[in-house]
Amino acid sequence: MRLVFSIALLFLATFSIQAQTPSVEKSIFSIQTGFLGFWASNESSLSRTFTLKSEIGFQSEISYYSWMGSNSGGTTNVAFIPEINIEPRWYYNLDKRESMSKPTSKNSGNFITVRTAYIPNWGIISNQEGIDRFNQICLIPKWGIRRNFGKYFNFETGAGAGVGYILKKASGYDKNELAFVVDLHLRIGVNF
C-alpha cells in the first residue's frame, strides 16, 4: 500500500496543476456592421493581453445640401468611403473578468488602443457622381469594450479623439492640414 501511495504521490508531483490564466484568442476573423458602415477584420494575438487588429471596410457619410434659390428643396448625398485600419489593442481587464467568472473567450473585455486609419480617395461608392475626398491618415487613441454573445456573435463599442492629417498637397493645394477627429463606434458582428 505504501508503494502505491508513493508512486501516486510521485506521479502527481511531476505534473503541476496550474490554473489557466485568461488570454486573448490566437486569431479571430469577424465581419461587423454599425450605424454608418461595414467592416471585415482579423485580430491576432501578440501576447497574453495584446492583439493587433487589421481591418478594411466602408464608413458611410450622409450630407444634405440645399442650394439657395433652388426650388428642388435640396439634395441628400450618401457615400460609402473605404478605410484601412490597424489597431494594437491592450485588453487590460481579462484577469478581473476571470476572477468574477465572466467570459473572456473571443476577446471579451475592455481595451485601450491607438487606431491608425488610412482613408483613401478611391473606391468611393455614392448616389452622386464626382464625389471626391482628400486622402487622410488618422491617429486616434481610444477606449472600448468587446463582448460576445452566443457562439458566433460579437458587440463592440468605443470612443476616442485624435488627429487627422489631410493630404491636400496631392490634389494641388499649397499645404496639408491637421484636423481634430472624434471617433465613436457601435458595432455588431459575426466571428468566424
Q: Residue 116: which of 178, 38, 55, 177 has the closest Cα? A: 55
> Which of helix, strand or coil describes residue 192?
coil
**133: pLDDT strictly greater than 80:** yes
Residue 82 CA to residue 131 CA, distance in Å, equals: 13
Q: Confirm if 124 and 80 have CB atoms less than 8 A apart.
A: yes
Residue 153: pLDDT band (50, 70, 90) is: very high
- What is the pLDDT at residue 73? 54
- What is the pLDDT at residue 15? 42
More confident residue, 131 or 48: 48
More confident residue, 27 or 20: 27
Q: Confirm if 120 and 148 have CB atoms less than 8 A apart.
A: no
DSSP 122-186: SS-EESSTT----EEEEEEEEEEEEEEETTTEEEEEEEEEEEEEEE-GGGT-SS-EEEEEEEEEE
The full set of domains in the chain, from first to last, is 2-191 (2.40.160.20)
- What is the pLDDT at residue 69? 45
pLDDT digits (tens, 9 = 90+) for 99-110: 999 999 999 999
Residue 137 CA to residue 84 CA, distance in Å, equals: 10
- pTM as predicted: 0.81
Which residues on neighbouring strands pair with residue 138, listed in sequence order? 117, 164
Gyration radius of the chain over CA positions: 24
Range scoring the smallest mean pLDDT among 84-88, 124-128, 185-189: 124-128
**CA distances (Å), origin 36, targets 43, 155, 161, 176, 186:** 21, 15, 18, 27, 9
- What is the pLDDT at residue 70? 44
